[in-house]
Structures are given as C-alpha cells and as structure tokens.
Amino acid sequence: MFIREMTEEECIALLSAERLARLACAKDNQPYVVPVYYAYAGKCLYAFSMPGQKIEWMRANPHVCVQVDGLVTGKQWRSVVAYGRYQELPDTARWHRECLHAWSLLEKHVNWWEPGDSVRQAGVISGVDPGRHDQAAFGVI
C-alpha cells in the first residue's frame, strides 16, 4: 500500500467528481457522522437536508468535517478530509441568490435530493480549501 498526501488540485478534482460525503458534526462533546449528497463549486460544498439531528447539532455547533472517498481500483482509493463551518441558507431575500445557486448545482445530479426529499432545505460548505483543512463552511437552504 502506498500512502501520500494529495495536492490541492487532486483534492479539488476529487471533490468535484464525487457526490457522496460523510458529514461529521458534534454537540456536547458527542460526535455524529452521516452520509450526504453534495455539489462542489467555488470552494463550497452544497448539500440538501431535511430538519433533524444533524441540522440541530450544526446550528448549535457550526464546526464540521467532511470526508469524501473516490475508488480508483478495488484496492486503491483517494480520500479528502476538509474541516469547515456550517452556514445555513434560509429561504429569505438575503440568501435568495445563494439558494438558487445551490439548487442549480444540486439538481444537475440524479437523486441529489435523497434522502431529504420532503422539506426544501439545501446547504453550503463554503470556503473549502483542501490544501488548508482548517478553512471551510457548511450550510442549508
């Protein structure tokens, strides 16, 4: 097995190519990890979710971590971990443009709305810099 650190360009390519991430958040020193579908653009990860535990926890503690894998072969994979900050994008005049942008990116992909198909909430992890794991943000519309 050969392990090496990926370049920023390789990290961005992986984030751009994949659609499924694991989102980690924490509340009261308790971690929580869930899969989320996302779209990547402009150093932001956009995701869609229904209200629930992850939204509640990210509202209480906006510090998040996202991990994305890409399978190269049966025995080779690539993985990106980015730390960030959750930023909710409510359906208000202030966030309208960002909400439309997130929606337009997400709807380009099949089943982008699963599993949160009942309530229109989307999100953004913005400021993602794969070269600097301390910069990023996550949000919801």
pLDDT for res 132:
35
Count CB atoms within 10 A of the CB of residue 94: 9
Output 137 or 29, whichever has higher pLDDT. Answer: 29
Residue 129: pLDDT band (50, 70, 90) is: very low
Which class does domain 8-110+135-140 fall in?
mainly beta
User: Residue 45 to residues 86, 90, 138: CA-CA distances in angstroms?
Assistant: 10, 16, 7
Taking the C-alpha atoms of residue 84 and residue 74, their distance in angstroms, rounded to an integer, is: 30
Q: For 17-59, how does the pLDDT look when each residue is reduced to its tens digit (9 = 90+)?
A: 999 999 999 999 999 999 999 999 888 898 888 788 999 999 9
User: Is-contact 137 125, C-beta < 8 A?
Assistant: yes
**Which runs of E-coded beta strand occur in the chain?**
20-27, 30-41, 44-48, 63-73, 76-88, 122-125
pTM for this predicted structure: 0.75
